[in-house]
Amino acid sequence: MSDVSIHMNGAKVAGTHPAPSDCVEDYFALLKPRVMSLVIFTAMTGIILAPGSIHPWLAVIALLCISVGAGASGALNMWYDADIDAKMQRTERRPVPAGRIVPDNALAFGLILATGSVLLLGVAVNWVAAGFLAFTIFFYAVIYTIWLKRSTPQNIVIGGAAGAFPPMIGWTAVTGTIDPHSIALFLIIFLWTPPHFWALALFRSQDYANAGVPMLPVVAGLQATRKQILIYSIIMLPASVLPFLLGYSGVTYLVGACILGAVLVWRAWAVYRDRAGEDGHRAAKRLFGFSILYLFLIYLLLLADRAVTLFFPGGVL
């Protein structure tokens, strides 16, 4: 056993942890694989929906680079946030605060992956997509992690843009340009992010308070957060039908998106209505769980609708 002290921004987290192991599993955990899986899926959707064509191998390389870039962002986030991660029950077992990876190694790992993913995407696919990926990594690691997260309750609103860029990067990998049509894919994730993370923050508010992170429930209170969750969930309804209005999805998607949007609003209303004790926590947990399923199904509907268009040009509805 060894004493490990982590210094971040003048903060110090000390404790007794196992000596750093630097095992593969811990480095993989730095990539935030759950987040990475969502990035891969949404970026793939952007590639498939984009007009034009791309060689299958180049599409695979683009997906690899986007996912590795997302993993690099996660590693840089865990490096910088090790001090507050150590104070939160949800994150205290992450590799850096737990002492399994030393901070300098996490930083180097993130920087190497970030540089490699951007360069490979530029050389193999196109430099517009590579520049977009570089900006996304910078936005998450610097603008969100270093600046916004610790300074404003709107951290997740503005910072959520980083998680919404991957489908646009995928689209740009095909077209070589930043197409306004891809902004609809961005908006779906961008507007989804606040109710998703605020639902988590409702039943983890003490965690954030202990770490000094100004999440909305900590700063503005639980009721104000519930109200914002409901507002964003309602806004999601028209935003989610933009792909149909812009002409690159059909009725199959429209019907599914409206149904999913209605369920999301219903779940958000339950959070707003059930405010007391365990009922409130239960409603927030249900919304949090459904929001993950919602985003997956919305993007799956986009892919299914494209498949229907390809195999049934005359339509099935």
- Given this model, what pLDDT does residue 202 score? 94
**Confidence (pLDDT) at 315:** 55
For residues 199 and 217, what is the distance between their CA atoms, to the nearest angstrom? 10
pLDDT at 228: 97
In one-letter notation, the amino acid at residue 193 is T
Per-chain mean pLDDT for the chain: 91
Tell me what pLDDT residue 5 has. Answer: 41
DSSP H helical ranges for the chain: 24-30, 33-49, 56-80, 82-85, 103-124, 127-138, 155-159, 161-164, 166-175, 183-203, 205-211, 216-219, 222-240, 242-245, 251-273, 277-311
Q: Identify the DSSP state of 268.
A: H
Q: What pLDDT digit, counting tens, does each position of 48-91 carry?
A: 999 999 999 999 999 999 999 999 999 999 999 999 999 999 99
Rounded CA-CA distance 130/181 in Å is: 19
Counted residue by residue, the chain has a size of 317
Identify the CA nearest to 211 among candidates 81, 43, 34, 77.
Answer: 81
Written as one letter, the residue type at 220 is: A
List the chain pLDDT tens, one digit each, 317 residues. Answer: 334 444 444 344 444 555 676 689 999 999 999 999 999 999 999 999 999 999 999 999 999 999 999 999 999 999 999 999 999 999 999 999 999 999 999 999 999 999 999 999 999 999 999 999 999 999 999 999 999 999 999 999 999 999 999 999 999 999 999 888 899 999 999 999 999 999 999 999 999 999 999 999 999 999 999 999 999 999 999 999 999 999 989 999 999 999 999 999 999 999 999 776 788 889 999 999 999 999 999 999 999 999 887 776 655 54
- pLDDT of amino acid 312: 67
pTM (two decimals) = 0.90
